[in-house]
Amino acid sequence: MGGQSRTLYRAMLPTGDSPNVGTDRNMLGLRPKENDLSVYVDARRIMQPIRPKNVLNVQGQPGANGETVLFSINEDELPAFGLKLGTVKPDTHGPIEPNDACDHDELHKRIVSTLPKWKKVKL
């Protein structure tokens, strides 16, 4: 990490003020064939189909998804769960991945265990 912790964003389906946990798209957890959880360092760069309608992109255009809600977590909270932020593509997204080798089920458990740290972003 080296320096300032970044805020990480993800558009997810809500259950109250928390993300919905599961293995489907737009949930907190791993889909069956994925090896990481994609997050964004700039909410305005979330792809339009999954970006919530109330989140504007860099050109000021709203997202297209009326069901997802923007949630955030601080990067510096990940190590406590055996997780880290992988390589971030410039101005877009990066993966939350394990700090050490683990199987898919263990990684899913680690990601789900971060649930209390995810906060609904107030826009």
Mean pLDDT by 10 residues, the chain (123 residues): 80 96 96 95 93 94 96 98 94 93 97 98 87
> Among 118, 106, 86, 97, which residue's Cα sits nearest to residue 14?
118
> Is 23 a member of any domain?
yes
- DSSP structure string for 44-89: GGS-TTTSBTT-B-TTS-B-SBSS-EEEEEEGGGSGGGTEEE-PPP
Is 2 inside any structural domain?
no
In terms of residue numbers, what domain contains 34?
7-120
Could you give the number of structural domains in the chain? 1
Residue 19 lies in a domain: yes
On whether residue 1 sits in a domain, the answer given is no
Rounded to two decimals, the pTM is 0.93
Residue-level pLDDT at 1: 44
**Position 34 in a domain:** yes
Structure tokens at 85: 């932020």
By CB atoms closer than 10 A (0-12, 13-18, 19+), residue 13 is: middle
CA distance 75 to 95: 11
